[in-house]
Amino acid sequence: MNQIIKENLERRFSALLEHKNEPEFVMLELDYIEYIGRNKVIGNIIKDLIKENRIYKKDLQHIYSMFMTITALRQVHEKHPKIIYPSFYDKKIEKTLTLHSDFIKMIYDSDKEYKKAKKEGWSEELTDCTREEQVDLIKEHKDLYVVQQIHNNIMEKLTEPKNELIFREDGKLLFLGKEILISKSKDSDPYYLLKTLFKDREKLWNYDEIAEDWGNGYEKNSWSKYYNAGYKVNEKVAKETTIKDFLELSRKAVSINKKYI
């Protein structure tokens, strides 16, 4: 998982460096910020960096504002757009972030505001600004330095060994550098489920196979026992990381989501 994210980040950041003195930089920067803002793994890393005071408030404000702007503009032609917050956004940092409220109101408020925004051409605001205006944006905000600092910190976090995926005997799941208590008891279905899944992390486990691993008989109507255990695991993980699909569940089988392995 981390390797794929690192490759995607490096590809986008290399494009920024290649075009750092060109008007194309603006759209490449928006692409980079939108990627980190939509990626839940990176969102959790940014939250950790905030706690460690490794991101300046002004830099956090910058990537937040850029993300909110580009996601708003992408929806300007939709009749019922939705406000999309970046993955690192939560109530704890809400008060530290601001954005031009009139602009967000223009994008999201109502059908009337939508039509007004469409009429005024908000969707062309970034794509059709003149090359001179784009160059001025590059010089004014010094965006490359901001992105580079955040990029370096994220890459460092992605490389840290503590981001390994491990389920320990004490019932704690090590995931994204966090210790997530799945079960205080070793005699619980969520505990038994992860013990089984971690015997082969990439395997799609049918419920009859899990029942056999637990030393139980399996009947078709007993699928809910294993499904509910997986559901509880996902609840625990989501509470600590906001990631809701750590396990992929169905009525027949369960597996660790491959994008987190």
- Output the pLDDT for position 137: 46
pLDDT in tens, 49-92: 888 888 888 888 889 888 988 888 787 667 677 778 899 988 77
Judged against a pLDDT cut of 70, whether residue 34 lies above it is answered with yes
The residue among 99, 146, 132, 167 whose CA lies nearest residue 22 is: 132
CB 88 within 8 A of CB 52: no
pLDDT the model gives residue 221: 85
Rounded Cα distance between 67 and 61, Å, is 10
CATH 1.10.10.10, the chain: domain bounds: 164-260
For the chain, give the mean pLDDT. Answer: 82
Give the residue ranges of DSSP H helices in 95-130. Answer: 101-108, 111-120
Domain 164-260 annotated CATH 1.10.3720.10: no
- Kindly state the tokens that stand for 101: 């409220």
Mean pLDDT of 29-34: 94
- At 141, the pLDDT band (50, 70, 90 cuts) reads very low
Taking alpha carbons only, the member of 151, 123, 256 closest to residue 198 is 256
Distance CA 194, CA 172 (A): 10
Q: Return d(Cα 39, Cα 222) in angstroms, integer.
A: 35
Over the stretch 235-249, which tens digit does the pLDDT of each residue have?
999 999 889 999 999
Could you give the C-alpha distances from 180 to 23, 166, 233, 237, in angstroms and in order? 45, 10, 10, 7
What are residue 173's DSSP bridge partners?
A: 167, 180
Q: Which pLDDT score is estimated for 143?
A: 76
Q: In sequence order, what are the residues at sequence separation of 6 or more whose Cβ sits closer than 8 angstroms to the Cβ of residue 253?
A: 204, 205, 206, 207
Instruction: At 73, give phi and psi (nearest 5°).
Output: -65, -35
pTM of the model: 0.56
